[in-house]
Amino acid sequence: MSSPRPTVAAAAPLERPANRQKSVERGRKPKRLTPGRIGLYAFIAVAAAFFLLPAVIMIFTSLKSMDEIRDGSIFALPQHLDFSAWIAAWSTACTGLSCDGIRVGFWNSIKILVPSVVLSIAAGSILGYALSFWRVRGANVLFAILLLGAFLPYQIFIYPMVRGFSLLGIYNSLACIVTIHVIFGLPVMTLIFRNFYAGLPQELFNAARVDGGGFWRIFLYVILPMSTPILIVAAILQITGIWNDFILGLVFAGRENLPMTVQLNNVVNTTYGERTYNMNMAATILTAAVPLVVYFVSGRWFVRGIAAGAVKG
């Protein structure tokens, strides 16, 4: 007796689960260009050119000599690469009577950035964890007050805080500007951590409580190991925000701790004789280097962190 013939379903090759999942994530590749898709590509190209053109002009200008800048077009490529403007911007650019370059502001920004990022993320994660799992009395009122602080313009708080830190005796110091960044970063940090923790299974927290875990033990050994995506998001937000700050550093840091953005403003506005556009452009690019590096290195992690729950709730 002959064996039955295989059916069409049995003979058809099965699609691998990995390939099926990959195709679902990426979506189907369009087979032809439609007018709508052409318009979308054209809009993206125009938008990219609009935002990239100033950066390209800055780079070209920083690599030209002053004679070439005066005689040529701002869109022209440098005839000879000249990095002397970069060296001068870093080490010999003048801010008033001091001619030490913007490297002083760079190290000041590093001293401000590191403790501000660590302390603000630590405070925001702990507060978001407490508001998400421990059901503190008045937690909703406290969270509403924090959100109010996140949406109010911080300029209205400058004068009261100047008076307060002056009474405490730490105004115009490194401790003062770090405290300021931690205070102003706390509402946003609490918001994103609370929304992220709200998406975690409540059963994990309940099981840890049953096993005898306390506040800090659950946070350090259960919640924090699962917080890697949102920690990356918080770090990117704080690094870019604190590094790009100008007015808070100008008001609260003091003359000895002025950040790089304030030093850049002083370099650009300090002129003896001819204005050196190439050095000003080089100083601007050096000031923007840290946020750009953070974006290009960890941009994909930022998107993954957002997708993992940074904006849920």
In angstroms, the Cα distances linking 39 to 35, 43, 44 are 6, 6, 9
* CA 223, 225, 229, 230 torsion-angle sign: positive
pLDDT in tens, the chain (313 residues): 444 444 444 444 444 544 555 444 555 666 677 888 888 899 999 999 998 998 899 999 999 988 888 887 788 888 888 899 999 999 988 887 788 889 999 999 999 999 999 999 999 999 989 888 887 777 778 778 877 877 888 888 899 999 999 999 999 999 999 999 999 999 899 888 988 888 888 888 889 888 888 889 999 999 999 888 899 889 999 999 999 999 999 999 988 899 999 999 988 887 666 788 889 999 999 999 998 888 888 777 766 666 655 444 4
| Count of C-beta atoms within a 10 Å radius of residue 78 | 17
pTM: 0.80
Domains of the chain (ranges; CATH) run: 34-82 (no CATH), 103-310 (1.10.3720.10)
Alpha helices in 138-276 (DSSP H): 139-151, 158-168, 174-198, 202-210, 215-218, 228-243, 247-252, 260-269
Residues 6+ apart with CB under 8 A from 270: 94, 95, 96
**Residue 195 φ/ψ, nearest 5 degrees:** -65, -35
**What would the pLDDT profile of 41-75 be if each residue is shown by its tens digit?**
999 999 999 989 988 999 999 999 888 888 877 88
Q: What is the total residue count of the chain? A: 313
The pair phi, psi for residue 161, each rounded to 5°, is -75, -35
pLDDT tens digits, residue range 214-232?
889 999 999 999 888 899 8
Identity (one letter) of the amino acid at 152? Answer: L
